[in-house]
Amino acid sequence: MADLKTSVQFIHGIGPQRAKALEKLGIATLGDLISWFPRRYEDRTQIVPIAQLDPDTPACVAAMIAAPPTLSHIRKGMDLVKVRAVDDTGMLEVTFFNQTWLKNQLHEGETYLFYGRAEGNLLRRRMTSPVVEPIGRREFTGRIVPIYPLTAGVSQLILSRSIRQGLDACTGILPDALPDEVRQAHHLCRINYAYENIHFPEHEEALALARRRLAFEELFFFTIGLQRLRRRREVVHVAPFSPVDMDAFYQALPFSLTGAQRRCVDEALSDMVSGVPMNRLCQGDVGSGKTMVAAACAYFCVKNGRQAALMAPTEILARQHYAGLAPLLEPLGIRCGLLTGSTPAREKRATAAALASGEIDFIIGTHALITGDLGYANLGLVITDEQHRFGVAQRAALAAKGSHPHTLVMSATPIPRTLALILYGDLDVSIIDELPPGRQPVATYAVPGSYHPRVYAFIRKLVDQGRQAYVVCPMVDEGEDGGSDERKAVTEYARHLQTEIFPDLRVAFVHGKMKPREKDAVMAAFAARETDILVSTTVIEVGVDVPNAAVMVVENAERFGLSQLHQLRGRVGRGKHQSYCILISDNRNEETRQRLRVMTKTTDGFRIAEEDLRLRGPGDFFGQRQHGLPGLRVADIGCDTALLQEAQAAARDLLERDPELTTCPATAQRVAELFAQNADTLN
Ligand code: ADP
Ligand code: MG
């Protein structure tokens, strides 16, 4: 008897040739085959009378063939089969290209179902190469039809027939890894029903039931795996840090920390004295002051005689952190260092030596901090800033530079709680939910391109008052040579502003293709108020801090995700001045307008993140991660929030009753498989 590990070539009706085709999709076993889920579905259940065919909507027609099909040879490689089909309401001319066999398969006087897009007018309706089958077969017409992801050489027909054979071969042997009491408690259908109907749904409701069941189990197994990982982590023991008098640090600050900042620091410090490695996410909206939380933790770590590292995603940001923190911490006896990709080789060697010998206490840098041969004397704390920009693998690579160092992850993208649970399920979370005093919300407007003169006049007014402006220039489409296009867009737009709009003001520009030193020079000049207007791409998106900047103008705002716009907006409103964000877009798409409207209505990063997740799905949050989420093929964490919560509750419940999963070995095995395959994704 077959099982899920059986090679597809041994399945009745598939054989070696199809197996070879399926292999191209990575389908080797019966289990792979039935888990190749449709990408989408086409509802071909409604039969439309010929007279009511709407030219824009593909539809099913049931029609009788009125005359024998004709075959004509147009030219080499081009044969046409034509038939006329009729129903009670009208006549349809159907043409097939290069499907000569249909001449003998379509019979005069018999009724077929045709599925396709109709053309022509009321008097003369035509369909070209529709799907056709005898009425009653219901394989590709008259039902909800699965549409599978394909690759060259494998057609929908092959795939859908193979899956049909696969499901038939599974009768009675599908193991159900979901404990039956969980299944019943959450009103989920049985596994056989789920697989049958995710592929070949009887009707909409059956599809919804199947989807719900499969999405639930994915989220359920995923959550169990995460919770067990988390438990495993807690058994690592490290020498606890000792309490440190933090007064000197607090007194050195130019301001007192907000209550929320203090709470985050306290939470992190108590992690570090616990004897278990800290694994904490510090989430705070842009401008909430995460840097000082990081600084406090680094201070605490160094005063415990250990090294701390802070990794930022960009050169600009790393340098800015260094420029801000070194003058604060050096007088307190903390030797700081900076290491980035553009640090000259000689300096790099010196810094590496100082790190290895322990002469540097606190190193700030970019990915350069995780290069292979870089060694640390006694790394005790690893901080990653703007975590969503780093893959989990990078975070792990930095942690591997020490022996179970404490880790603090800082994220400025307020991640909806549900998503955070999945993304950072193995982390404790601190939230900075308070902005430093005196901040006014950034007034935000969405305007069409015709407002340019007014926008420019407004920039001029603010600059006259002593403020500075950011302008994010129009985006270019990623061409073959995306880099030079980006460069060109920025430089030309800056030149336009300088020569035609603001000849008397100081306009500078920065883009991703500039050398780090050039970038830094431009940023430093802007921070020192030597320039008034900074034109840029999204390189300024992350973390850059110039409190005197009071207006952010974003061209082609429709091209950005909400979270990205929120990050951009976060570059202003960081000082005591009323600040503005102007989103320019000529896009009339209703959804786009709705997104931009969200920006004008709220400055609450969490709300914006929820909206973004709802409108765009989780892709945005995973942006630069190398890996997707393991095993989530049916579940959509953008939409299945309620289901996720249900599955999480069920998982917690089960683990409380049976932490070792002894009562449900099938569940244990499934979770183990899932996490064995993805060990590098979730460490
Ligand atoms: P984030 O990284 O969370 O976006 P930053 O750490 O860059 O925010 O802080 C934003 C700005 O607020 C900086 O100019 C910083 O000096 C200032 N700041 C931070 N904490 C406070 C505070 N408690 N009171 C006043 N200003 C603060
Ligand atoms: Mg920051």
| Average pLDDT by stretches of 10, the chain with 683 residues | 84 87 90 90 91 88 94 89 94 93 93 92 87 89 89 84 92 90 96 95 94 94 81 76 96 95 96 92 87 97 97 86 96 96 91 96 92 90 77 70 88 69 71 85 94 96 96 69 69 94 95 82 89 85 77 92 86 89 91 89 84 63 42 73 87 91 92 68 41
288 lines ligand 1 (CB under 6 A): yes
Cα–Cα distance for residue pair 489/511, rounded to 1 Å = 10
547 lines ligand 1 (CB under 6 A): yes
C-alpha dihedral (574, 575, 578, 581), degrees to nearest 10: -30
The pLDDT assigned to 322 comes to 95
Q: What is the pTM of this model?
A: 0.63
Q: What is the DSSP letter of 47?
A: B
The encoded tokens of residue 632 equal 């989530």
Tell the residue nearest (CA) to atom 24 of ligand 1. Answer: 436
CATH 3.40.50.300 in the chain: give the residue spans.
247-432, 443-620
Tell the residue nearest (CA) to atom 9 of ligand 1. Answer: 289
The pLDDT assigned to 622 comes to 44
- Going from the Cα of 174 to the center of ligand 2, the distance in angstroms, rounded, reads 50
Phi, psi of 281 (to 5 degrees): -105, 125
Q: Which ligand 1 atom is at minimum distance from the Cα of 575?
A: 14
The pLDDT assigned to 540 comes to 63
Do 557 and 584 touch, CB atoms closer than 8 A? yes
- Going from the Cα of 20 to the center of ligand 1, the distance in angstroms, rounded, reads 59
Cα–Cα distance for residue pair 43/211, rounded to 1 Å = 16
284 lines ligand 1 (CB under 6 A): yes
- Going from the Cα of 581 to the center of ligand 1, the distance in angstroms, rounded, reads 19
Domain 247-432 sits in CATH at 3.40.50.300
Cα–Cα distance for residue pair 491/257, rounded to 1 Å = 40
Tell the residue nearest (CA) to atom 17 of ligand 1. Answer: 289
Q: How far apart are the first and last CA of the chain?
A: 38
Cα–Cα distance for residue pair 156/137, rounded to 1 Å = 17
Cα–Cα distance for residue pair 370/350, rounded to 1 Å = 16
> Which ligand has the nearest atom to the CA of 283?
1
Cα–Cα distance for residue pair 102/132, rounded to 1 Å = 10
Instruction: Tell me which architecture the domain covering 1-40+156-174 has in CATH.
Output: Orthogonal Bundle (1.10)
Pairing of strands 549-554, 580-584: parallel
CATH 1.10.150.20 in the chain: give the residue spans.
1-40+156-174
In sequence order, the β-bridge partners of residue 429 are 281
Cβ neighbors of 208 (< 8 A, separation 6 or more) are: none
- Going from the Cα of 290 to the center of ligand 2, the distance in angstroms, rounded, reads 6
What angle, rounded to 10 degrees, do the helices at 590-601 and 605-616 form? Answer: 170
289 lines ligand 1 (CB under 6 A): yes
Name the fold adopted by 443-620.
Rossmann fold (3.40.50)
Q: Which residue blocks in 338-481 are alpha helix, DSSP H? A: 345-357, 392-399, 417-423, 452-464
543 lines ligand 1 (CB under 6 A): yes
Instruction: Tell me which architecture the domain covering 46-142 has in CATH.
Output: Beta Barrel (2.40)
The encoded tokens of residue 347 equal 């300096």
The encoded tokens of residue 177 equal 């890894």
User: What are the b/e assignments for 579-590, b being 16+ CB within 10 Å?
Assistant: bbbbbbbebeee
The pLDDT assigned to 624 comes to 30
Q: Which residue blocks in 330-445 are alpha helix, DSSP H? A: 345-357, 392-399, 417-423
290 lines ligand 1 (CB under 6 A): yes
Q: How many CB atoms lie within 10 A of CB 657?
A: 10
- Going from the Cα of 394 to the center of ligand 2, the distance in angstroms, rounded, reads 19
Q: What does each C-alpha distance from 198 to 1, 57, 79, 419, 675 come to in angstroms?
A: 24, 24, 37, 25, 24
Q: CB-based burial of residue 126 (10 Å sphere; 0-12 exposed, 13-18 middle, 19+ buried)?
A: middle
Among 152, 169, 170, 148, smallest CA distance to 160 is for 148
Tokens 């206490």 map to which residue? Answer: 361
- Going from the Cα of 189 to the center of ligand 1, the distance in angstroms, rounded, reads 51
In sequence order, the β-bridge partners of residue 126 are 93, 119
Q: Which of 265, 433, 545, 568 to mutate to test the pocket of ligand 1 (most atoms within 8 A of CB)?
A: 545
291 lines ligand 1 (CB under 6 A): yes
- Going from the Cα of 411 to the center of ligand 1, the distance in angstroms, rounded, reads 14
